[in-house]
Amino acid sequence: MTNVVNLTEPIGAGAFDVEAIRRDFPALSLEVNGKPLVFLDSAASAQKPRAVIDAMTRAYESQYANVHRGTYHLSQVATENYENARAKVAQFMNAKSPDEIIFTHSATAGFNLVAHSFGSMLEAGDEIIVSVMEHHANIVPWQLLRDRTGIEIKVAPIDDAGNFLIGEFEKLLGPRTKLVAVTHVSNVLGTVTPVKEIVRLAHDNGTPVLFDGAQGIVHEGVDVQDLDCDFYVWTGHKLYGPTGIGVLWGKSEWLEKMPPFEGGGDMISLVTFEKTTYREPPARFEAGTPPIVEAVGLGAAIDYVTAVGPDRIAAHEKELLDYAMLRLADVEGLRILGRAQQKAGIVSFEFGDVHSHDVATIIDSAGVAVRAGHHCAQPLMERFGVTSTSRASFGMYTTRAEVDALAEALEKVREIFG
């Protein structure tokens, strides 16, 4: 099975029923400030379908015990469910084996794991390449590693439209480049980076590649064997699953070489005070009681996304994006940041000289929820000479009417700020 999506595939008539999908998400029928909720912040965290909520309730009510330990029935059920979720994740990303799937607590935890474990094999003077549009989660762990070991961080630039500059990136690759860690899809600009080109150039240089897939897995999907990258990090809650669970996929040849990051129960083979041996991946990297029920919830989210169809979700979001770019262009004083040729359903904008927090507060009174601020990407804000933006982001349940509601709510901002 492959989950690579085809953005050019049209949505067939009746094939994608957004209203039916919306009915599966309890939160979407909420009212806020007396108005129907217009939820345009899925890139921060997506709402959950009832299937996810129900699966987690069921897991807590009748399938719950600790995993990998008990010899009794309930523990075996919980362990099976947990490992089934791992298999679903592996299939969803087209990983070679579930053993390449490490459950973490978040995407952030995935970056930190690689920075500590893979990072411990680096030396002063070694180099890591990130891009200017990284989330802080793909910047700060490398800076902490730099402080520990003296590595250097190089930053790949973008153009004013937000396109990743592959030629400039290529120039940064050198004999000391030990890792490329860049985003698949920018959480601010929506830019889809040329991931295959990045992998090809890095591998030609003998350098492994890590992708931040927090947005990429949601909006673009990934087939890690086809892409041939080395690490892919993402989180459950942006893919309509629960918080508290993330995924680090790594090629087994890397994972087998990497030392443990956190120590504790479940990751050991034999412990004595003189010497402890560690289990094989993925167990080596999952110290302590894992997010058991969260894994079940993530499995249910993957089932839901798979049933709707990742390709059809991507096509729906692309159509919405095209509509939003046109509709918002009509709003006087609105400036969109990020017009990359390859772009996912994320629209950052400035509105006149009104601060994004004022915009967000005012349109919230119309029930419209957008993210305001620096989006955990301050270096990118600096790149564009702004301190913050407003950001509308789309999910499978977003409608054109909600894009219209955003545009109309912005008129309220104009009314107040003149």
Catalytic residues: 376
Q: Which of 23, 176, 203, 412 binds other proteins (CB under 8 A)?
A: 412
Sheet holding 127-131, edge to edge: 101-104, 246-250, 231-235, 209-212, 177-183, 127-131, 152-156
Is the CB of residue 293 less than 8 Å from the CB of residue 66? Answer: no
Q: Which is nearer to other proteins, 33 or 341 (by Cβ)?
A: 33
Is the CB of residue 267 less than 8 Å from the CB of residue 289? Answer: no
Please give the Cα distance from 341 to 164 (Å, whole number): 10
Stretch near other proteins under the rule CB under 8 A, chosen from 45-53, 172-180, 207-215, 355-363 = 355-363
416 is a site residue for other proteins (CB under 8 A)? yes
370 is a site residue for other proteins (CB under 8 A)? no
Stretch near other proteins under the rule CB under 8 A, chosen from 12-20, 68-76, 83-91, 358-366 = 358-366
3-state secondary structure of 275: coil
Please give the Cα distance from 399 to 327 (Å, whole number): 13
Is the CB of residue 285 less than 8 Å from the CB of residue 257? Answer: no
- Give min distance, CB of 416 to other proteins, in A: 5
Q: Which of 354, 403, 405, 409 binds other proteins (CB under 8 A)?
A: 354
Q: Which is nearer to other proteins, 181 or 362 (by Cβ)?
A: 362
Please give the Cα distance from 150 to 145 (Å, whole number): 7
Q: Which of 33, 57, 76, 341 binds other proteins (CB under 8 A)?
A: 33
- Which residues touch 58 (CB under 8 Å, ≥6 apart)? none
- Give min distance, CB of 182 to other proteins, in A: 22
Sheet holding 334-337, edge to edge: 334-337, 346-351, 389-393, 371-373
139 is a site residue for other proteins (CB under 8 A)? no
- Give the pair of three-digit tokens for residue 113: 């794991």
87-126 residues near other proteins, rule: CB under 8 A: none
- Own/partner contacts of 55-63, CB < 8 Å, gap of 24 or more, are 55/296, 55/297, 55/299, 55/300, 56/242, 56/293, 56/294, 56/296, 56/297, 56/300, 59/292, 59/293, 59/296, 59/297, 60/293, 63/296
Please give the Cα distance from 156 to 164 (Å, whole number): 8
Q: Which of 131, 356, 390, 398 binds other proteins (CB under 8 A)?
A: 356
143 is a site residue for other proteins (CB under 8 A)? no
Q: Which is nearer to other proteins, 168 or 364 (by Cβ)?
A: 364
Q: Which of 372, 370, 373, 374 is nearest to 402 (CA)?
A: 370
- Give min distance, CB of 364 to other proteins, in A: 9
Q: Which of 6, 348, 329, 13 is nearest to 162 (CA)?
A: 348
Other beta carbons within 10 angstroms of residue 270's beta carbon come to 9
- Give min distance, CB of 280 to other proteins, in A: 40
Terminal-residue alpha carbon distance, the chain:
54
Q: Which is nearer to other proteins, 152 or 358 (by Cβ)?
A: 358
- Give the pair of three-digit tokens for residue 413: 């901002």
What's the length of the chain?
418
Q: Which is nearer to other proteins, 269 or 365 (by Cβ)?
A: 365
Q: Which is nearer to other proteins, 61 or 415 (by Cβ)?
A: 415
Stretch near other proteins under the rule CB under 8 A, chosen from 81-89, 143-151, 284-292, 370-378 = 370-378
- Give min distance, CB of 282 to other proteins, in A: 34
31 is a site residue for other proteins (CB under 8 A)? no
3-state secondary structure of 2: coil
Q: Which is nearer to other proteins, 40 or 229 (by Cβ)?
A: 40
Q: Which is nearer to other proteins, 266 or 408 (by Cβ)?
A: 408
Residues in contact with other proteins, shown as a per-residue x/- string from 159 to 198 under the rule CB under 8 A: ----------------------------------------
Stretch near other proteins under the rule CB under 8 A, chosen from 173-181, 255-263, 270-278, 367-375 = 367-375
Residues in contact with other proteins, shown as a per-residue x/- string from 372 to 411 under the rule CB under 8 A: xxx---x--x-----xx-----------------------
Kindly list the residues in this chain that would bind other proteins in the complex (CB under 8 A). 33, 354-358, 361-362, 365, 372-374, 378, 381, 387-388, 412, 415-418
